[in-house]
Structures are given as structure tokens and as C-alpha cells.
Chains A and B, each alone.
Chain A
């Protein structure tokens, strides 16, 4: 039933198979099918020989499967594998692994001598392969080859004591094979040159002989290479995608607007760069400074100053030793005894620090007795040396003296009396100028207060207060020409009457409003001040209990303070 179908296939596929020796993995499926047929064909041919020649493998009678496989050939195997057979062709998945191997076989198949072993091994290998795949690919492994043993993935020691190794598909026990004598097997293995290729499959209780190809594959795997020799891991990359603009773009959406608008962020960035360039933060064509890889260890340090700036002072370096410091200097360096004596006469500072001596060999040179001293001195030198450059300017000290200014330049200072304000009959005790500078007020001990015109020295107004005036002070506000006068125990606030009509009016009100408060204040004996209206002089009289010596206005002209000798300051 199956045969014709397969033969039809065979016909179709066989042509291709002959042509393609190197089969691409991508086309595996077709090939595998074909190969299977072919391998089967070959099997039929080889199987007879196998049957004769290798009893070792196929002498098992108790196992149906092996019998079928060996004696009946293709048809027999076909029968026994009926259920599985169908699956073989249907499930491509499972077949791949099988057929790949058989394909290998077919590829190398021409080797005549190892044909049966190869064939047999292949078969077993299929099983071993199956067993391997049982572990790896559990879903398809069952269908792949006939699993003789169906115990599954259980520890085999469970069957160690038993006579069978498991169960076949029908549920029958698979009997353990009869153990060969160790000696026999040893002898057999010695005789058989291919014995090293045989391995024992414990699961199925049989020996498997690996084909050469399989060994090769194993070897390749052990080396870490791809299992198949013709698989090139570094095959040239074929770029299947065409990067050229295709006629029809993948997306037909119109170009978004932002592709056409210049980016704001970018322009900001550009502005930033432009500014940086303008400020000189970014410089072009600037070659990196070449740092000399080597420098003079004992060289002059003047160049170091350039490097580190003006303030840097390199540490002083000791004088290099010369010929005279040598342990064996030339004779001319060695001072004579007279010279050494003359050194003693010199001042200690002038004496040479080092007197050359001669030693015949380096071994005779004694320890340098001043080593510690000199080290210490040098340390002190390094430590105490001020590492900052002091800026000294040579200045003639005479030039630092301030020049005496000429008297003319020192003006204004009073040099001559231009104006006299004549009129007071007693000593003038206090004067005060009005804020605009138009008027000057003076208080005299003759009991008068006078206001003068500054410009001409004309007396504008006189108050006869009768008592010696101790202090006068103008209100600092120009629109409030009030004069505060200290006189004995009183302070007068005088309306000078210099403002214009409106100011005068407000002033009079200001100076009169205080009047009602007078009785209130006078009732209280404790208050320091009594406010009394003084109509005669046009102002207010503030009576105190002690002598007032000074009066001073607040800057804003609203308040004034008085000073009494009793150290009480009154603010009103």
C-alpha cells in the first residue's frame, strides 16, 4: 500500500538527489525524503551481507524488531514499523535528524567494506539517536524510531534486578539480553578492529557501533566546530533587503510638519555655540600643547617659571659636585698645608666649606661627617624658603612724602573777613544758618536773637528775649522757618515770619495749636515741659525745670531735642 506511493516519490525525487551532492540545509525537507528512499534502497542491497557478516550485532533472535530489521529487509521492517513508518513520512520534524544522518551516510556511502556495519550502525544509531532525542525533544522522539523500550525516563536501576529491561509498544516485556562472557567479549573486542567504535546502550540493552561519520561528527563537536563539515559558519552575508528607495514606501503617511520646521532646540544650541565662540571659550585651530617628554633634571629652572607662573619659585638646588669633590681629585685641587693653615685665620663664614682630600680607593673614603647637618640644613632650606615672590618696587622714599600743598590750593579756608554782621552788643554765643542759606540766626548773651541776611549782612529781625541766649537752631525745613532758641530754662520756638502768606498761616496755626495743651501739661507737676504761648515774640515758650543748653531739630523738622546739663535728653 505504501510502496507504490513511495516509489512514485522516489522517481520524482531521485533525479534531484543525484544532482545535488551538497545539499543546502534550507532545502532539507525534500532531500531528506529522497534520501530516506535511497538509503532504504541501499539497505536492501546491503542488508544481506550484513546478515551474513555481522552476527555480533544481529544474532538476537528474541527480539522481533532486530530480526525483522536484519532478515526481512525493507518489507519486514516496513511491517514492524507500520505504525511508526507512517509517522516517519508525515512528521518532517522528527525525520530531520534521522534523515540528516542517513544523508551523510549516502554522501559517503560509496565505501564498500564498511557498508554493512555502517548500515547496521546507522540503524542503531537511529535508535541511540532516538534515545538521545527522548531526552532532548520529548514530544517527537516517540514517533521517530521504534522505541523498543517504553519505560520512559526512569532510573534504569529499577530494572537492574529484573529480567527485562522494559516494555515494548505492545506492552510485552523486553527481555534482557544474555550477557556475554567477559572474556569472550574481551577477545571479541580484541579481534574486532572496530570494537573501539562500539558503545553499549544501556537503555535498550544493546551495543551500538558508531559509523566513521558519526565519529567524525563527535570529533568535530568535541573540537567545538559545527557538526557538519560542509557548514560554513562564516558564510558571506547575503543582504536580502534592498536598501534602495522602493517605489512604494512602507508607509504612505505624509511627511510630518516638523521635518520641514527648523528645530528650535537646534537653533538654541547653535546660538550657544556661537556665543561660546565669540567669548573665546571654543577655539579653533588650536594645537594641543606639546609637553616635552624629557626635561633636564639638573637644568636651569628659569624655564619652569614660565610654566608655572610668576609666583612660582622653584626649590633651590644644591650645587653640583665638581672635580674637587671627587674622592681622588687631581693634585691641583688639594690645598697645601699652608693653605689649610691660612683657612684657620679666615673668618668662619669665609672659610671654604669643603677641603678636598685624596683617597687611593673608594673603599677608604670615610663616612661624610657633615651628612646629617647638611641634610638638616637642606631640609630647613626647603622648608623655610618662602615660596612666594615678593614684589618689591624701588621707590625713592622722598617721593613718598606728600607734597606740601600751596596755600592757594587749600582754599576755601577763611583767609580774610569779607562781611561783618554788626549789631549785637554782647558776645555772640550761637549761630545757625537756615537750610536755604538765605538767613543766618545768631544768639547773643545780650539777650537778643537776630536774623541776618547772609548776602548783605543786613539785620532783618531782632527779638529782645531779655535773657542770655545759649543756643539757636533753625528748623531744617525751608517751608517752616521756625527758630528754636535756648535761653536759660526756656526754649522759645520763634516764628521768624519769613515764609510766604500760606506758609505763615500754617505756621501760626502750628504754633498756636499747642496752646490748649498747656494747661494739661502744667497740671501735671511731673512733666518736664510747660508749653506757654508767647504772643509778644510770636512763638511758644517751653518752660523747663532746669537749664537747657542745646536744642537740635530732627532732620524732618517735626521733632526737636533739647540737652540739659542733667544729662536728660528730651524729645518733643
Chain B
């Protein structure tokens, strides 16, 4: 097996390097750990075909699979020779190349059609996908194309949605979701995620959160699932009680609205507290830990708030208006943000003495509308842009792992679903689901 040539026409002049392929993947992807000599001018494609051949040798019914290759924790994106040269790695020793399954969608689901632009999407619960739409309705999708619930009540476009208590309430009976809208309110909805019916069930909010003076731009729930926070065009971040209607009922019985055709009580509630500090629209909020809220604003800053103190403990300045924000990655502390330029920036607030971004990804060609870390991986994130593309990123390389180009218009929102799908909504009123991404 050693010294096997892939192609017969490889020039003898090409230098050869001794490599050994290793992997952390499970059984069907395990290649024999012997070292082989391969020409140094091979690219990722060539390496991938070698590995596939190796695997095919062990197993006859092998479907070729794209792989990605890591040398010293860096993804190989050029020919092996150039890479070794650029990194200053000696070609004399036996090179250990780790291969992973390429992170790229292998399957495109049928797009789920909406009546208007899809402005928000949340796939943090693996049982359903929650979308917000410019027609003012929120939708619950069981799978691609199958809408189960319609959340009606908002009088203006929904700007942001979030699933409250995504991990705890797994039984699905009383799944709570929150939506933020341009009608200056947030609404909390309760539905049974497990029930299945052919008909689309229309549900009404059990709680309406009043208090913002302008369009609510984003909403996020805390990990415990009893509070939500929202960022608005009035430059404030409001914290709301999200837990069941019991407290809300007590607080505001008088405000109860009676609808003629609906017997569901709707409770109106006001903000528990507000975090004031931003001077422009708060475009995005993330409640990553119980005491920490990250917020991005059009005033070019990203702030970290201490919920107890009500003060910002970190203030990152960004050159551009920030439109989207997510916290994740290594130790859930890297901040990814995109804004009014095509660059996706990643800050590490733990790095002392510098507020410059540690990573910048600039393959998009228009504003970035959404970005999301993968829940489990430290390296992967997805971003959406007005140029109609969704890109998958790995921190270990500066090039996008994959570009999903299914949208015809601006992509307004993106999220991971079930850890292996990318869901995105856009101005073409479609919710696209790209599955089999194979992260990890």
C-alpha cells in the first residue's frame, strides 16, 4: 500500500512527503494508520480521494465522502507543498494529517414558504423550528414544509424570535417561545410541541410585554428560561419575566384583555428592569449565562451587561454598525458579530489589552444579517448576508467551509438546527433547511 500512486501521470519530479492519516472519526471512517508517501503538490481534493481510496480498500461498498484535512490544527486550503512551505513545517518527517468529514450541507430540504419575508428563525429546539415573519405571524415548523402552529397576534412585523427554555422543557407540553415585533411589544406563546395534527393550529400569546417605546429588535431568553431580555430601537434593553402566567396574572389582572372569540387570557406585563447605556438601536441581544447579557447596537458598540448590577462590564468598540451578535466558541466566550459591512468579526474578550477582533472573515459581499455559533463545536459558525448567501466558517481557516446559495434574495436570519442542519430565512419568503452538515 505504501507508495501507492493515485494517478499514473504524477510527475516523478514532484516531491513526495511521508504522511500518516489519523482521525477521530468512528469506525467506517477509520483509515489504516500506516504512513504513505504522497506527492506534495496534492490539494485537498487529492488528499480526500486518497483517503477515500484507502477506506474503499477496506470496505467495498464505500460511497466517496468529502474530507477536510488538518495539519497542526490548521485546515489545509492550498496544495500540501505550499501549505508546508507557508507554515514552515519540515517535509522530511512523517506528517500526521488528521482528516475530518467536510463540513458542508449534503442535502437541501424543500424550502418552506411564508407569506412575507422571514425575519427571524430559531432552531434551538430540535423538535421544531420557530420562524418570525414580516406579516406579523410566527410559525412553528416540524420539518421542512410542515407548519404546525401559527402564532398570531402581532400587529406588525416580527423582528426576532427565541425559544424559551429550549433544553429544560424537552417534554414539549408547555413549550414557551417569545417573539419581538415592530409593534413595540413582545409576546410569549405556549404550545405543545409534541402534538401532531394535520391542521395548522392557531394560537394566541399568553403574555404581552409592553414597555418599549420603539420597535423591538431582538429578544433572548436566559438559560434558566424564566426571563427574557429584549433590545429595542429606543436604545434600551428590557428584562421581562417569562415564566408561567401565574405571576403575570397576579400582577395585572386589571389589564386582562378579553377577546370576543378567544377565551385564552392574555396578560400584559411590564419590564422588570431596563439596562440603559446604548445610544442607538439595540440590534441584538444574547443571554449567554445567567448573569451576563451581550448586546450589539447601532452605536457601534458591543456591550456585556451584568444583570445583577445593571451595568455594562465590557464595552467593545466596532467600526461599523453591529446588526447581529452571538456568543460561543471556546468556553462560550468568543463574540461573533456582523454589521454594516461584509466582514464577520470575532472578538475574544478574555484577551487582555486589546479590543481588536481576533478573527475576521470577509468572504461575504454585503452586510451580514445574522451569525450563529454551533452549539457544540468550538470552531464552527454560520453567517447570513444580504448577498443571499449563507456561509459556514471554521476558525481554523480563513476561507468559508461551505457556501449555501439557495436564497434568491437577502438572507435575514440563520440558525443551526439539530446540530447538523442550517436553517435560514430570507427576503424571498423562504425558510431553507440545509441538512447533513456533519459538524463533529
User: What is the interface of chain A, defined by CB distance below 8 A to chain B?
Assistant: 416, 418-419, 436-438, 455-458, 478, 500
Residue on A with the closest CB to B342?
A: A418
Selected from A416, A419, A438, the residue in CB contact (under 8 A) with B215 is A438
Selected from A416, A436, A456, the residue in CB contact (under 8 A) with B427 is A456
Docked-complex contact A437 and B117, CB < 8 angstroms: no
Is B213 engaged at the interface, CB distance under 8 Å to the other chain?
Answer: yes
Docked-complex contact B386 and A437, CB < 8 angstroms: no
Question: Chain B, interface size: which category?
Answer: 20 to 34
Cα separation A193 to B262 with both chains bound (whole Å): 167
Cα separation A337 to B328 with both chains bound (whole Å): 103
How many pairs, one residue from A and one from B, have CB atoms within 8 Å of each other in the complex?
38
Docked-complex contact B281 and A418, CB < 8 angstroms: no
Is B347 engaged at the interface, CB distance under 8 Å to the other chain?
Answer: no
Cα separation A478 to B281 with both chains bound (whole Å): 13
Other 15 A-B pairs with CB < 8 A, given A419-B366, A458-B134, A500-B213: A418-B340, A418-B367, A418-B386, A436-B214, A436-B233, A436-B280, A437-B298, A438-B214, A438-B215, A455-B283, A456-B117, A456-B369, A456-B410, A458-B117, A500-B184
Residue on B with the closest CB to A436?
A: B233
- Whole-angstrom distance between the Cβ of A280 and the nearest chain B Cβ: 40
Docked-complex contact B280 and A437, CB < 8 angstroms: yes
* Interchain residue pairs with CB less than 8 A apart (20): A416-B365, A418-B340, A418-B341, A418-B342, A418-B366, A418-B367, A418-B386, A419-B367, A419-B386, A436-B233, A437-B298, A438-B233, A438-B281, A455-B323, A456-B117, A456-B369, A457-B386, A458-B134, A500-B213, A500-B214
- Whole-angstrom distance between the Cβ of A452 and the nearest chain B Cβ: 13
Most B CB contacts (10 A, CB to CB) among A419, A455, A478 go to A455
Cα separation A9 to B293 with both chains bound (whole Å): 130
Cα separation A433 to B117 with both chains bound (whole Å): 23
Is B337 engaged at the interface, CB distance under 8 Å to the other chain?
Answer: no
Using an 8 Å CB-CB cutoff, how does the interface string of B340-368 with A read, 1 for contact, 0 for none? Answer: 11100000000000000000000001110
Is B412 engaged at the interface, CB distance under 8 Å to the other chain?
Answer: yes
Cα separation A518 to B369 with both chains bound (whole Å): 48
Measured between beta carbons, the chain A residues less than 8 angstroms from B117 are: 456, 458
Measured between beta carbons, the chain B residues less than 8 angstroms from A437 are: 280-281, 298
Cα separation A198 to B4 with both chains bound (whole Å): 171
Give residues 133-149 of B contacting A (CB, 8 Å): 134
Cα separation A416 to B341 with both chains bound (whole Å): 10
Cα separation A500 to B386 with both chains bound (whole Å): 29
Docked-complex contact B281 and A436, CB < 8 angstroms: yes
Measured between beta carbons, the chain A residues less than 8 angstroms from B323 are: 455
Cα separation A458 to B213 with both chains bound (whole Å): 21
- Whole-angstrom distance between the Cβ of A459 and the nearest chain B Cβ: 11
Using an 8 Å CB-CB cutoff, how does the interface string of B399-417 with A read, 1 for contact, 0 for none? Answer: 0000000000010100000
Cα separation A438 to B217 with both chains bound (whole Å): 11
Most B CB contacts (10 A, CB to CB) among A418, A436, A458 go to A418
- Whole-angstrom distance between the Cβ of B378 and the nearest chain A Cβ: 30
Measured between beta carbons, the chain B residues less than 8 angstroms from A500 are: 184, 213-214
Residue on A with the closest CB to B155?
A: A501
Cα separation A436 to B182 with both chains bound (whole Å): 14
Cα separation A267 to B283 with both chains bound (whole Å): 64
Selected from B214, B365, B410, the residue in CB contact (under 8 A) with A457 is B410
Cα separation A478 to B213 with both chains bound (whole Å): 10
Residue on B with the closest CB to A478?
A: B214
Measured between beta carbons, the chain A residues less than 8 angstroms from B119 are: 456
Measured between beta carbons, the chain B residues less than 8 angstroms from A456 are: 117, 119, 369, 410, 412, 427
Cα separation A437 to B278 with both chains bound (whole Å): 14
